[in-house]
Amino acid sequence: MAKYSLSDRGRRALDGLYATIAQINGTTRGVHSSFALDPTAEQRLEDVQREQVAFLQRINVIGVRDLVGQVIGLGTEDMIASRTAEADLPRKPKYIGETEGREYRLYDTEFDTKLPWQIIDAWSKFPDFAQRYSRHVAISVALSRISVGWHGLTAAASTNAVTNPNGEDVNIGWLQKLRLEKPAHVMGRNTANVGGVPTATGTAKPIYIGPGADTADGDYKNIDALAYDLISGMPSWARSSTEHVVLVSQDLVDEKYFPMINRPLSDTIDGGRSISDVVTNDIIMSTKQIGGRPAAIVPKFPEGTMAITPLAQPGGSGSSNLSIYYQEGSRRRYIKDEPENKASLVDYNSVNEGYVIEDTDFMVMAENITFGDRP
């Protein structure tokens, strides 16, 4: 089979893409050798991802200096009001957060993409080719980051996408952080000792939901009851937060909570946008509550799972308990033609980043949830 040859129009579009990326990043060496993103370009990349995948607007994405350091503790609620008698001076300011004994650790993460020359030729007719390509990469990176956030278990030296299709070996995500750091806030899994420390990383301990759940055959009559029980397991100061959101997997809810999931395409607000695209790329808020809190389906969330934690409001206002930390200045990128790689544009991207729960008191989860009587 003959190799595909890039057309002259495709080559001009590709050369324009190279020039645009080089200009944005202020690199004089071109894009065909490794270059660091300048701070402005780095922030622009984060902004594009947040625009394309709305869930990133609901969490904190924070640049930090060090690979290992103290958790910043954003979004926590401490008591800071006090008075100080003259005899007790000096005054003792308090940090609005919770950092003592909690550490973050960042790992080098690769977001490498490939664009076949056939696609470049097809896209080259559009005058906004560079912008289209940037959106394409931004969405792929954003959804990958979210998938690792929910599914990540370890940070392997070399990952295997075949055995770990959701990024289970790319980094330690939010749910795994809770299993390791706050096992008492996790339902649906047995405890196990890791380095002599109890964690919620043992075997599955299924939770059953059904009408017979008031007997020995089940656990809860409905998901509302489960959500209420989860919230009651939080400390009182965390339980009272008004920013909690109940995150659920799509398999746990029906049209009672999320009618748009089963709505025909012709009934969608934009007259035909695919429901599957909405579920994949966006956060869907329910008009109804679960456990007395707003409910949402978020991208890449694992099946049979419910998590409750504060999230920022649409547009990023308010505080979120979930964060991605990245090391400032650690982003590296280079782009080249690789005829030997099935005639493709190959875009190598990497950054040091990690996942953080700002305050584990403010997060609970249940997993291995299923409907029916306990066997």
pLDDT digits (tens, 9 = 90+) for 103-141: 999 999 999 988 888 888 998 888 888 888 888 888 899
Residue 309: φ, ψ to 5°: -165, 160
Asked which of 18-27, 170-179, 255-264 is least confident by mean pLDDT, the reply is: 255-264
pLDDT digits (tens, 9 = 90+) for 175-233: 999 999 999 999 999 999 988 999 999 999 999 998 877 677 778 988 999 999 999 99
The CATH number assigned to the domain holding 227 equals 3.90.1690
In a domain, 223, yes or no: yes
Domain range for 247: 8-76+100-371
Contacts by residues 277-283 (CB-CB < 8 Å, ≥ 24 positions apart): 279/250, 280/143, 281/52, 281/53, 281/54, 281/139, 281/143, 282/53, 282/54, 282/55, 283/54, 283/55, 283/58
What does the pLDDT read at residue 342? Answer: 58
pLDDT digits (tens, 9 = 90+) for 41-99: 777 778 878 888 889 989 999 999 999 998 987 655 556 676 677 787 777 766 555 55
In a domain, 300, yes or no: yes
| pTM given for the model | 0.86
The answer, yes or no, to whether residue 275 has pLDDT greater than 70, is no
**What's the total number of domains in the chain?**
1
In a domain, 94, yes or no: no
pLDDT digits (tens, 9 = 90+) for 236-247: 989 988 899 999
In a domain, 190, yes or no: yes
The answer, yes or no, to whether residue 34 has pLDDT greater than 80, is no
Asked which of 143-152, 168-177, 306-315 is least confident by mean pLDDT, the reply is: 306-315
In contact, 60 and 46? CB cutoff 8 Å: no
Amino acid letter, 19: A
In a domain, 191, yes or no: yes
What does the pLDDT read at residue 86? Answer: 74
